[in-house]
Amino acid sequence: MSQSNKPAAVLATVVIVQFMVSLDLSVVNVALPAIQGEFGLSATTLQWVVNAYTVVFGGFLLLGGRLGDVIGRRRTMVAGLVLFGAASLAGGLATHESVLIGARAVQGLGAAALSPLSLALITVTFEEGPARTKAVGMWAAATMLGGALGVVASGLLTDFADWRWVLLINVPIVVAALATAVRGIGGAVEGTRPRLDIVGALLVTAAMLLLILGVVRTDEQGWASAVTIGTLAGGVVLLAAFIVVETRVREPLMRLGLLAHGSVAGANVFGFMITAGQLTAFYFVSLHMQSVLRYTPAIAGVCFVPFALGAVVGMRLAAVLVDRFGHRTALVAGGLLGAVGIGWFGAGGPGGTFLTDILGPSIVASIGIGVSFVVMGTIAMQGVAGEEAGMASGLLNSSRQLGGALGLAVLTTVAATVTGGDRSPAGLSDGYSTAFLLGGALIAVGTVIAGLLIPRAAMKTAAAEANTGG
């Protein structure tokens, strides 16, 4: 464990940063109509206000995760925060759509350094056992609350202030994070400073960019178009080249042996699948409330509060379940509960209300996802050496980001196919319901696969550590 890090300040930094990064994955969604109206954007251009952040964030995650191991975690944290804050300010003050979209891309670059670094800092600051489980619980809470409250903030700020505040709100958050980071994160690179695998970094970054770009543009190009097939094929070829390179270099960007650990492999499969289902919930629940139940953006945003509260309950429950049953059982229980909750959203319809369509599934899904997020973050870092913490964290974040992009693109296509040309509340509801059911199925399948990959020995060790205080 790092002796130069101050645990309280590190945890404060991690929570602030992860909340902010997750907030910006969803905070512009409800504000999109207002942005479109101000700049006169076409539907195709408008989606890049979201996609610019998503594509760059996902594309640079593995590189961002490794940077902290190579050049120092405090230096990487400060650089990422400065980038993120400056881009938020530029986007909030933008007078042209190109400036706004460019600022969102730079935000994604900053987030790619910050997000994997937050989990890596927990790994090198807190010993395995209850202390790390609680810290990961705080990280998971910040992740889920940022995503849920991003929708709430977007609706309230758009209705009662101005859409620009969905970006400008990041500036004071960045200032707070910088203050805790400089105070709490050690400046030195401990041990031998690893080299940065430049060739591997270029290959995997280009591969991730092409894969995510190909997926997020399917609503514009279609899955069978030459552009989509060529983009995805290019991403697969570059990813294969990256794997070959990583088996031959002395200090790889991504040590493939990490995936030989059942716990790490299981956590990454689970992260891929649950993020696909979770983003389905955020995206389609928001559409269901505004297009089917006819709620205003502000009311739709406030309706996400039970999801946020349920996530907090789930994260507190995670430590109890890990204590009693171990990581594998807690992950499976949380994942299956989350799958039931997401699927339950599919029972809603045009005649529904908040009480019948939203409240029950929100509570069930958020508690289950809250439990599983804590356990996923802990398992993904189990047994990982301190000098590879950023590598393992970057891998988990890349799995989640790619899963979210692919899952949302596929389920959006499915929902549109079911809806057809019927834009009535009943027609839209049929498409959304299908997406919810498939999203729940994805989480269930991911949970089962992860349960099979995570070894029983890890489950027993986890329970023993918790019961003995680590």
DSSP string, 14-63: HHHHHHHHHHHHHTTTTTHHHHHHHHT--HHHHHHHHHHHHHHHHHTHHH
Confidence of residue 77 (pLDDT cuts 50, 70, 90): very high
Closest CA to 145 of 273, 315, 345: 315
Q: What per-residue confidence (pLDDT) applies to 458?
A: 52
Work out the percent of the chain whose per-residue pLDDT is above 70: 93
**Rounded average pLDDT over 309-326:** 88
Confidence of residue 334 (pLDDT cuts 50, 70, 90): very high
Between CA 281 and CA 51 the distance in angstroms is 18
Judgement on whether residues 244 and 297 belong to the same structural domain of the protein: no
Predicted confidence (pLDDT) per residue in 45-61, tens digit: 777 888 788 778 877 88
**Rounded average pLDDT over 3-20:** 87
Predicted confidence (pLDDT) per residue in 429-449, tens digit: 999 999 999 999 999 999 999
**Tokens representing residue 369 in the block:** 């996802």
The yes-or-no verdict on residue 269 having pLDDT over 90 is yes
Output the CA angle 415-416-421, nearest 5 degrees: 135
Total of domains in the chain: 3
Predicted confidence (pLDDT) per residue in 120-148, tens digit: 888 888 887 778 878 888 888 888 788 77
Confidence of residue 337 (pLDDT cuts 50, 70, 90): very high
Judgement on whether residues 162 and 244 belong to the same structural domain of the protein: no
Judgement on whether residues 402 and 427 belong to the same structural domain of the protein: yes
The yes-or-no verdict on residue 470 having pLDDT over 50 is no
**Tokens representing residue 105 in the block:** 């891309």
429 backbone φψ class: left, alpha, beta (φ>0; ψ -120 to 50):
alpha
Between CA 277 and CA 338 the distance in angstroms is 9
**Residues near 294 by Cβ (< 8 Å), separated by ≥ 6?**
425
Closest CA to 25 of 60, 59, 61, 51: 51
Q: Is the residue at 135 inside a domain?
A: yes
* Entry field: residues in the chain: 470
Judgement on whether residues 166 and 216 belong to the same structural domain of the protein: no
Q: Which residue has the higher pLDDT, 344 or 116?
A: 344
The yes-or-no verdict on residue 28 having pLDDT over 60 is yes
Angle between helices 262-287 and 360-380 (to 10 degrees): 150
Q: In which domain, by residue range, is 202 found?
A: 198-250
Q: What per-residue confidence (pLDDT) applies to 467?
A: 43
Q: Is the residue at 148 inside a domain?
A: yes
CATH number, domain containing residue 394: 1.20.1250.20
State which of 226, 250, 274 marks the end of a domain. Answer: 250
225 backbone φψ class: left, alpha, beta (φ>0; ψ -120 to 50):
beta
Judgement on whether residues 322 and 350 belong to the same structural domain of the protein: yes
Ranking 182-186, 362-366, 458-462 by mean pLDDT, the lowest is: 458-462
Between CA 401 and CA 147 the distance in angstroms is 13
Judgement on whether residues 276 and 224 belong to the same structural domain of the protein: no
Judgement on whether residues 97 and 216 belong to the same structural domain of the protein: no
**Tokens representing residue 114 in the block:** 């910050």
Judgement on whether residues 226 and 300 belong to the same structural domain of the protein: no
CB neighbourhood size of 434 (10 A): 18
Work out the percent of the chain whose per-residue pLDDT is above 90: 32
Q: Is the residue at 466 inside a domain?
A: no
**Rounded average pLDDT over 300-305:** 83
Q: Is the residue at 468 inside a domain?
A: no
Judgement on whether residues 293 and 149 belong to the same structural domain of the protein: no
Burial class (CB in 10 A: 0-12, 13-18, 19+), 42: exposed
User: What are the start-end ranges of the H helices in 256-359?
Assistant: 262-287, 297-302, 305-325, 327-344
Q: Is the residue at 76 inside a domain?
A: yes
Q: Is the residue at 465 inside a domain?
A: no
Query: Coil, strand, or helix at residue 248?
Result: coil
- Greatest pairwise CA separation for the chain in angstroms: 63
Judgement on whether residues 276 and 399 belong to the same structural domain of the protein: yes
**Tokens representing residue 243 in the block:** 């794997």
Q: Is the residue at 375 inside a domain?
A: yes
* Mean pLDDT, the chain, whole residue set: 84
Angle between helices 305-325 and 130-160 (to 10 degrees): 170
The yes-or-no verdict on residue 109 having pLDDT over 60 is yes
Give the CA dihedral 408, 414, 420, 425, nearest 10 degrees: -60
State which of 213, 229, 250 marks the end of a domain. Answer: 250
Closest CA to 377 of 50, 104, 33, 143: 143
Q: Is the residue at 181 inside a domain?
A: yes
Confidence of residue 464 (pLDDT cuts 50, 70, 90): very low
**Rounded average pLDDT over 74-90:** 94
Judgement on whether residues 422 and 314 belong to the same structural domain of the protein: yes
Q: Are 263 and 379 in contact (CB under 8 A)?
A: yes
Q: What per-residue confidence (pLDDT) applies to 462?
A: 45
Q: What per-residue confidence (pLDDT) applies to 232?
A: 92
What are the CA-CA distances from residue 353 to residues 16, 89, 289, 356, 365 (Å)? 34, 38, 9, 5, 18
The yes-or-no verdict on residue 404 having pLDDT over 70 is yes
Between CA 58 and CA 208 the distance in angstroms is 7
State which of 230, 250, 270 marks the end of a domain. Answer: 250
Q: What per-residue confidence (pLDDT) applies to 372?
A: 92
Q: Are 393 and 314 in contact (CB under 8 A)?
A: no
DSSP 150: H
Judgement on whether residues 25 and 149 belong to the same structural domain of the protein: yes
Q: What per-residue confidence (pLDDT) applies to 191?
A: 55
**Tokens representing residue 104 in the block:** 């969102």
